[in-house]
Amino acid sequence: MSGGWLEALHIFGCLLLTGASVKLMDDYLDADFDLCRGHRTLAARWGRATLPYALVLGMIGAALDARLAAAVLLASYAVGMFTAWREQLPTRLPAWAEIGGAIVLAVVCAGWRDAVWAIAMMAVIDWVDDLLDMYGDGLSNQFNLALRIGPIETVFLVLLALLVAVTVSPTYTMWAFIALAVLSVLSEWSTRKVEPAVSRDGEVYHRGSD
Amino acid sequence: MGPIEFLWLATLLLAMFLGFAAGRRLGIQQGRKQEQRTLPIELRVAALERGICPICGARSAHDTIPVESHHPDAESGGRQ
């Protein structure tokens, strides 16, 4: 019994901390877009210090379950790059090549089952996030799958990805949703609302000081 | 869930996704074509009823009687 609870704690802890690491890095990259929408995230306030903190969280998550952490991290990268698959990246490789590389690495590091689950689950989270942020992303001109292909179509893709995730590992999926809820609450709590640079009508106006 | 059930569900979702995506895009195309056919007539009807061009707001040089009974918010245009 205690072994089962300990394993569950490891899985949840790994998903929570790796997810927090990915979220911090994502918020750091999107800091300007978020500020434009009036959200001053933790990553925006920390600036460059975000990266070492994100690394520490990721390492602790990996210490709890290395295979799962590797799968989640690489899958997050692959799914995040889906939207810009034709772009040329700093490595001089096209994004689709790096996506393929990340998927292969995930399979090698975590096994094909965990890799498939991680890709499906990260896709669910990313696309649900796009559905919820449709309006805001339209204002700040960020890529959004729901804006690109339509909200109903995105819902069908979410259901498809969720079907894959639940079929491969219902336990991981359950813990991932719980970790996502906790991270969402923490993210909301740590984000400060500031006066947006763009009003709801699309009018740009300037703020006095920060 | 067995592999057959998974395949059934996946095929169903994929079919719904493709069907909706294709149907919505075809519907938008059809709607645009229909609007292209009917818009000139609608604009002309609006212009003749109100005596004002709905696009540029210019008053009509023709003697037009506004249909006030049907359009309570129409301005009296055309005649005087």
A153·B1 Cβ contact <8 A: no
Q: Quick one: A101 exposed, middle or buried, by C-beta within 10 A (0-12, 13-18, 19+)?
A: middle
- Please state the φ and ψ torsions of residue A39, each to the nearest 5 degrees: -115, 120
Fill in the DSSP letter of residue B56: T
Total number of domains in chain B: 1
A94 neighbors A86 (Cβ within 8 angstroms): yes
List, for residues B20-79, the tens digit of each pLDDT value. 999 999 999 999 999 999 999 988 888 888 888 888 888 866 665 655 655 555 544 444
Measure the N-to-C terminal CA separation of chain A; round to a whole number of Å: 53
Average pLDDT along chain A: 87
A159 touches chain B (CB under 8 A): yes
Q: Quick one: B50 exposed, middle or buried, by C-beta within 10 A (0-12, 13-18, 19+)?
A: buried
- Please state the φ and ψ torsions of residue A40, each to the nearest 5 degrees: -100, 95
A25 neighbors A61 (Cβ within 8 angstroms): no
Higher-pLDDT residue of B16, A41: B16
Q: Which residues of B touch A164 (CB under 8 A)?
A: 10
Q: Which residues of B touch A168 (CB under 8 A)?
A: none
Q: Which residues of A touch B9 (CB under 8 A)?
A: 163
B14 touches chain A (CB under 8 A): yes
- Is residue A30 included in any domain, yes or no? yes
**Of B40, B45, B47, whose CA–CA distance to B62 is shortest?**
B47
Note the pTM of the prediction, 2 decimals.
Answer: 0.77
Phi-psi region of A77 (alpha: psi -120 to 50; beta: other; left: phi over 0): alpha
B15 touches chain A (CB under 8 A): no
Assign B80 a pLDDT band (cuts: 50, 70, 90): very low
- Is residue A184 included in any domain, yes or no? yes
- Is residue B29 included in any domain, yes or no? no
- Is residue B73 included in any domain, yes or no? yes
- Is residue A210 included in any domain, yes or no? no
In the predicted model, residues of chain A with pLDDT beneath 50 are 1, 208-210
What gap in Å lies between CA B64 and CA B13, rounded to an integer?
57
Question: Can you give the pLDDT at residue A82?
Answer: 84
Question: Can you give the pLDDT at residue A198?
Answer: 59
B9·A163 Cβ contact <8 A: yes
Following DSSP, what letter does each residue of A79-147 receive, concatenated? HHHGGGTTPBPTTSSBHHHHHHHHHHHHHHHH-HHHHHHHHHHHHHHHHHHHHHTHHHHHHHT---HHH
Question: Can you give the pLDDT at residue B73?
Answer: 57
- Is residue B16 included in any domain, yes or no? no
A153 touches chain B (CB under 8 A): yes
Question: Can you give the pLDDT at residue A200?
Answer: 60
Contacts of A54 (CB under 8 A, 6+ apart): A20, A21, A22, A24, A25, A28
Closest partner CB to A160 (pick from B10, B20, B21): B10
**Of A111, A107, A57, A51, whose CA–CA distance to A78 is shortest?**
A107
In terms of residue numbers, what domain contains B40? 36-80
- Is residue A206 included in any domain, yes or no? no
- Is residue A62 included in any domain, yes or no? yes
- Is residue B1 included in any domain, yes or no? no
What gap in Å lies between CA B49 and CA B67, rounded to an integer?
6
Q: What residues 18-77 of chain A have any CB closer than 8 A to a CB of chain B?
A: none
Total number of domains in chain A: 1
Q: Which residues of B touch A113 (CB under 8 A)?
A: none
Phi-psi region of A110 (alpha: psi -120 to 50; beta: other; left: phi over 0): alpha
Distances (CA, A) of A7 to A4, A10, A14, A138, A203: 5, 5, 10, 42, 52
In terms of residue numbers, what domain contains A127? 2-193
Q: Tell me, what's the ipTM?
A: 0.71
pLDDT value at B10 more than 70: yes
A113 touches chain B (CB under 8 A): no
Angle of helix A170-190 relative to helix A2-29, nearest 10 degrees? 50
- Is residue B22 included in any domain, yes or no? no
What gap in Å lies between CA B53 and CA B45, rounded to an integer?
10
